[in-house]
Structure 1
Amino acid sequence: MSTSDTRDRGALYRAVDGFEKTAIAVLLGLMTMVTFANVVLRYLFNSSLIWGLEVTLILFAWLVLFGVSYCVKVTAHLGVDALLNVLPSGPRRVLTLLAGVICLIYALLLLKGAWDYWAPYASLDRTAGRWFPTGFEETRDQAWYITDQVPMVPVLRWLEPLINMGEEYEKLPRVVGYTMLPVGVSLLLFRFAQAFVDVVRGKRESFIVSHEAEDDVADAQARAAQSEKEA
């Protein structure tokens, strides 16, 4: 999507777009820094950051969840379009819209699951209902769970009176790492909704990666073969 297209969008779109790009860049930078520091410490000083691997795993999980929603935006997800390619434009559009509705339902189900998994670690209640939320049900508090090796960050001490009844965390609480679950799935739902609206408005033809490049390659090969025959 071009810069002009981004400017034409609303403030919410620009804010989400900037947030995603910044977060992905920061996560990649932090992963690189932690891994590089560990390599230097191990081979030059026979030491290591004991929490380095766990932090890298958390950052990588965050990066994957950010990437899922961002790939919806840039149409980078793979898919099977063999049936769509043999259909005329009308039925193809109907099936694309149907796929969009299924994606939205899937994202909503994921969001419920993400909240229900994360909520106990944040001292909150899970939602009631098997498929869609019908309210909240009392849930056993799991806010005291901590990571294995990641030290507590002083700037996050405000979490202790908020969700841990004032008890100090010895290590980083798991709620911090798991917060990316509802955030990431919310972004995915936002991107699916945005893509669906674009398909309805005719600004987008599909939710999966385009095969135009493959068609261009095939055309180029056909022209090269024709040129050889003529020569």
Structure 2
Amino acid sequence: MSSKYVPASGLGRAVNELEETAIAVILGAMTLITFVNVILRYVFSSGLIWGLEAVTFLFAWLVLFGVSYAVKITAHLGVDAVTSLLAPRTRRIAAIVAGLICLAYAALLLKGAWDYWANFANLPQTTGRWFPTGFEEMKRTSYRGWYEVVDISFPEWLRFIEPVMNEGEHYEKLPRFIPYFILPFGMALLLFRFVQAFLAILCGDSDSLIVSHEAEDAVEDVRHMNAGD
């Protein structure tokens, strides 16, 4: 039975489009910035001061989008040396347990990501040691929306956020809460994808979270190449 689960819901399609579009745009932007920086450096002895930092942030966004997208397209590697020996019913139970563990793991990541990002977004962190039980009471001294990145200049079209996030003071550089937003957002996408995969197991559309056998596929490709010789 195939382990690939493609959601038919409108939300699932919207998330698919978001991930695929974001990944394509990020890859294009990284390539363009790097190419321009190389030309400027080796031809004009110049460069984009903000280029390296921008590419670093874009790469982080790409990785975190890719983590959830890989769950959707069943690209994560898995080892089924043990589960493949189990009876179908036992294998399904093991898949449900693995799904529950993945859901708990994604929820923990989401809580940690939110709490870290909230430091820079003038928002309260969650309470609770492992899972959120509420939100902490915010104090004016807790606001850190004024934290800026090192090199990326603040775009003029975002000046409208200054009264809300920086008490009316002007930003010189991009505030950190903007590039750091991918942390809670990416973990929310990951949790969403694990929920989809878990529901697929419960509904019988999938019998395992093991979704990719890249090493076996590579060996099979080599075997075919040798056979062709």
What TM-score, normalized by structure 2, do the two folds share? 0.88
In the TM superposition, what is the alpha-carbon distance from 1:6 to its structure 2 partner? Answer: 9.4
- 1:1-231 aligned at under 5 Å gives the runs 9-139=8-138, 140-211=142-213, 214=216
The answer to whether the Cα contact below 8 Å between 1:75 and 1:210 also exists between their aligned partners in 2 is: yes
The answer to whether the Cα contact below 8 Å between 1:112 and 1:132 also exists between their aligned partners in 2 is: yes
Give unmatched runs, 5+ long, in structure 2.
none
Distance 2:218 2:185 in 1: 38
Q: Which protein shows a greater Rg?
A: 1
Stretch of structure 1 that moved more, 19-28 or 81-90: 81-90
Sequence identity (%): 57
Q: How many residues align?
A: 219
Distance 1:207 1:158 in 2: 45
Name the aligned partner's letter for residue 57 of structure 2.
I
The answer to whether the Cα contact below 8 Å between 1:115 and 1:182 also exists between their aligned partners in 2 is: yes
Q: Counterpart of 1:157 in 2: which secondary structure?
A: helix
Q: Counterpart of 2:48 in 1: which secondary structure?
A: coil
Q: Counterpart of 1:175 in 2: which secondary structure?
A: coil
Task: Give the aligned partner of residue 229 of structure 1.
Answer: none
Q: Counterpart of 1:158 in 2: which secondary structure?
A: helix
Give unmatched runs, 5+ long, in structure 1.
226-231
In the TM superposition, what is the alpha-carbon distance from 1:182 to its structure 2 partner? Answer: 0.8
What TM-score, normalized by structure 1, do the two folds share? 0.88
Distance 1:113 1:212 in 2: 31
Q: Which has the higher contact order (CA 8 A, sep 6+)?
A: 2
Q: Counterpart of 1:148 in 2: which secondary structure?
A: strand
Superposed CA deviations along residues 94-121 of structure 1, whole A, max 9, x for unmatched, are 1011000000011111111111000121
In the TM superposition, what is the alpha-carbon distance from 1:138 to its structure 2 partner? Answer: 3.3
In the TM superposition, what is the alpha-carbon distance from 1:161 to its structure 2 partner? Answer: 1.1
Distance 1:79 1:212 in 2: 9
RMSD over aligned Cα atoms: 2.5
Superposed CA deviations along residues 19-39 of structure 1, whole A, max 9, x for unmatched, are 000000000000000000000
Change (3 A) 1:189 1:179: same
Distance 2:213 2:59 in 1: 29
In the TM superposition, what is the alpha-carbon distance from 1:206 to its structure 2 partner? Answer: 2.4
Task: Give the aligned partner of residue 228 of structure 1.
Answer: none
Distance 2:79 2:5 in 1: 28
Name the aligned partner's letter for residue 55 of structure 1.
A
The answer to whether the Cα contact below 8 Å between 1:96 and 1:206 also exists between their aligned partners in 2 is: yes
Change (3 A) 1:61 1:8: closer
